A and B are shown apart, each in its own frame.
Chain A
Amino acid sequence: MSAVVAEFRRNRLSLSYVIVVALLILLVVAGGFLSDRFLTWRNFGNLFQQLVVLGMVSLGQTFVVLLGGIDLAVGSLVSASTVFIAHFLEWRPDLLWLALPLALIAATTIGALNGLLTIVLRVHPLIVTLGMSSIIFGGTLMYNKEPGGSVPRGLADFSYAKLWGIPVTAIVLVAIFALAGLWLQRSRSGRSIYFVGGDREAARLNGLPVSRIVVMAYALSGLCAGLAAIFLTARTGVGDPRIGTALTLQSITPVVVGGTVLAGGRGGVLGTLLGVLLVTMLNNLLNFLNVSSYYQWVIQGLIIIIAVSIHATKRRQ
């Protein structure tokens, strides 16, 4: 038992997380003082609902960043998926059971294609996914320029459903994160992401199927984008070809704030979850304080730079 506790201390509560948790506590305390509506059950209900989409996309981004890559196509992929889902469901609301899996399969396939292209073409993932992002964005706009489509009542209800006062979507998100954490730490394929991200050539010489792992990580990022699109469509009720644009860069913030290194091989999903919480809570508090969104951008920028520089200093020690 003591060995388990020791291991828990060493791995889970590494200093990276301590920093983010400290910032979170600071934020909650400050929020409590600054606004009487912030520290309420109801606000936290809303807050968890808000972080689901960003959380999902950031989770996918975490896999790719751990691998030493980056996925700049996630935003466009989310947009395209919402358009697909909303229009499909407007056409046949009764085929919900078909629409959602189809959307997920399509998103996963596009993700896998990203991974495959980085390997086959030997082009930096930044370029491949940037190009892919543009292709998806343009392709979606060709099909549909304005928000449109609709979703059946059941799906919309799902996005507002609560269990013991907690949004169901948030519970689903946390469950997915837990699953992802278990997978990364305890499965062969998950562990392999750390190997490939840590040193690709070393991974190859250790007999790991490097190409397969790369494709898998990008495919998972696509899958996460598809899931995010389902949450998003359920909440907004429409498919919007521009809705995900900002998500691409937003999804990187929680990953790096949570201590995952851009060069790959170090980090994890717990950090990302904490990062998502931090970013969303910060924006939520600033909204309460009637701070304009311009300042929110500035503050978010500062958070990235400060948090990552703290991680970097710590790592050097």
Chain B
Amino acid sequence: MVTPVIELSRIEKEYPGVKPLDRVDFAVRSGEIHALLGENGAGKSTLIRVMGGAIRPNGGSMTYLGKPVSWQSPKQARAAGIHVIHQELALFPELSVAENILVDAQPRNGLGLISGRARHARAAEILSQLGVKISTHAKIDELPLADQQMVEIAKALVGEVRLLVLDEPTAVISGHEVDLLFDNMRRLKREGVGIVYVSHRLEEIFEIADRVTILKDGQVAGNGPVGDLTRDEMITKMVGRRLEQIYPPRRKAPASGPDILKVSNLRAGYRVRDVSLSVRPGEVVGIAGMVGSGRTEVAEVIFGKRDLDGGTIEFEGRPFDRRMPREAIRNGLGFLTENRKDEGLFLGLPISANVMAPDLAGVTRRGLIDRRGEREIALEQIRNFAVAAPSPEVKVGNLSGGNQQKVLFGRWSRIARKLLILDEPTRGVDIGAKVEIYRIVRNLAEQGVGILMISSELPEIIGLSDRIFVMSQGHVAGEIDGASATEEAIIDLAVRSVDRRESKAARLEQVA
């Protein structure tokens, strides 16, 4: 029997009115990848923070490397070899890779000053251990997210690491970046590091994890070797009920009628090179592709957030000339951005204000905002989208990710009567809320709204879309029918590198 790296026994954490952890037993062995599953609010992050010393539990005991411990601070846990990588990376965007990796272990020279040369040498050594090629001189904000994540992992390797905790590391990366991450996780595992892996993506759990612990409402709902549980069993334990049907039925006949949106030969910056696509009323059109393939940028150009360099955009046959979000909204468009906290919600304001933000005119009577009317609309949207909130006055910042997303649906469903653009609509949302969001999206489509949905989760794209455009390197690599799409077919298009000469020839052809 291998001794666990860390063993938590009957851990409890209680805040007034809530109990995020209720007598939780949890153990990670050395050389094991242990998946931690659960809906948002199930207690995963609290458990992670207890292990990392950021939260002190109210009860229970913790054993680390065979000795009873009780962390006083995250620093103490880190010194002991526990490294937590949060979803929001803790990097300094303006500093170099080397400075970030050695942030609290800057090498000194003989005079006691920080030695730049030693720093870069040490940082490069750690990065080469990880098998990634990143310049130690590069600034963090010049790097793609996947590389930034590697820098974060490199930080863990500066000292001795015995337990590595990764909180949803794949939420922001895709494709071969995930493979690289998994390779490194396996390598660390061989070196005897215990790894806690939090993810919403069940497919990944089966690929990488040895054992799994499922939390539900602060309690352990199940645990054991990954092979002992089926996907459905895991979902059932997570949500506490069976999910009969994750995706709502697709539309029966292909959508007809004139295009709501027609994008032709769009160019914008270096990310969008040649994109043509269209959306008809009542259909869900998916955009698949790797992170960085230009998906988000296309959405931003359509909504008027980003300038275009060439090509045309038409709403219902009329060119979209006055290019700003305000005009798009006026034309019946809505945009749920992938980054709901920075580009969508007003976290410090109540639900009602957030729902009404793009449509203050709609509740203004004789120059004044009609508060009762506003409240009623907000209440109606809270009910329509099953937002778990006691009243419309609750600040949006106090809601869970899934509920925040539902507030955004509440906002845009009123405004976007023609076309709703969704960028990663289920990111950071638990599985119960995901299913609800899928239902909402399909309902909106059935009411005649065109939906343009970007997602990194292929099952979601396939399960929900009527048609799928696959993007690669700023181009539309192909269009697939949703009902017959497979993950393989999408990936095949997404990784197809577009030959530059070929596309240039194509452009010349169009000119001629």
Contacts and interface: CB of A to CB of B under 8 A. Distances in A.
Q: Which 4 A-B pairs have the closest CB atoms?
A: A207-B329, A198-B346, A207-B326, A206-B357
A194 B357 CA distance: 10
A199 B360 contact: no
A310 B345 CA distance: 26
A194 B349 CA distance: 8
Interface in B328-351: 328-330, 335, 337, 342-349
Interface of B: 303, 305, 325-326, 328-330, 335, 337, 342-349, 353, 357-358, 360-361, 364, 367-369, 371-372, 375, 393
Contacts of B329: 206-207
A162 interface: no
A128 B393 CA distance: 36
A207 B347 contact: no
A200 B458 CA distance: 33
B371 A205 contact: no
Given A188-B369, A195-B357, A205 B349 contact: no
A188 B360 CA distance: 6
Given A186-B369, A199-B346, A204 B360 contact: no
A185 B368 CA distance: 9
A187 B369 contact: yes
Interface in A244-279: 265-266
Interface in A204-258: 204-209
A12 to B, nearest CB: 12
B368 A186 contact: yes
Given A10-B393, A265-B346, A205 B335 contact: yes
A157 interface: no
B342 A205 contact: no
A7 interface: yes
Secondary structure of the A side of the interface?
helix
A92 interface: no
Contacts of A209: 326
A201 interface: yes
B353 A194 contact: yes
Nearest to A189: B360
B360 A191 contact: yes
Nearest to A261: B348
A8 to B, nearest CB: 11
Contacts of B303: 205
Interface residue tally on A, bucketed by range: 20 to 34
Given A7-B393, A10-B393, A208-B326, A188 B344 contact: no
A209 B372 CA distance: 25
B344 A191 contact: no
B355 to A, nearest CB: 11
A202 B343 contact: yes
Contacts of B353: 191, 194-195
A186 B371 contact: yes
A3 B373 CA distance: 13
B343 A188 contact: no
A81 interface: no
A192 interface: yes
A202 B393 contact: no
A265 B353 CA distance: 12
Contact of B360 (A7, A192, A266): A192
A205 B344 contact: yes
Contact of A207 (B337, B344, B358, B371): B358
30 contacts: A3-B375, A7-B393, A186-B368, A186-B369, A187-B369, A188-B360, A188-B361, A188-B364, A188-B369, A191-B360, A195-B346, A195-B349, A195-B357, A198-B346, A198-B349, A199-B347, A201-B342, A201-B343, A202-B344, A203-B346, A205-B325, A205-B335, A205-B337, A205-B344, A206-B357, A207-B329, A207-B330, A208-B357, A208-B358, A209-B326
A203 B356 CA distance: 12
Contact of A202 (B328, B342, B364, B371): B342
A7 to B, nearest CB: 7
Interface in A6-21: 7, 10-11
Contacts of B346: 194-195, 198-199, 202-203, 265
Contact of A206 (B342, B347, B358, B369): B358
A209 B358 CA distance: 11
A191 B358 contact: no
A191 B369 contact: yes
A206 B348 contact: no
B367 A7 contact: no
Contacts of A182: 368
B345 A265 contact: no
A309 B56 CA distance: 24
Contacts of A185: 369
Given A186-B369, A199-B346, 13 more contacts: A3-B375, A10-B393, A186-B371, A187-B369, A188-B369, A191-B369, A194-B349, A202-B342, A202-B343, A206-B329, A207-B325, A207-B328, A265-B346
B302 to A, nearest CB: 13
Contacts of A186: 368-369, 371
Contacts of A195: 346, 349, 353, 357
A11 B393 CA distance: 9
Contacts of B347: 198-199
Interface string A33-53: 000000000000000000000
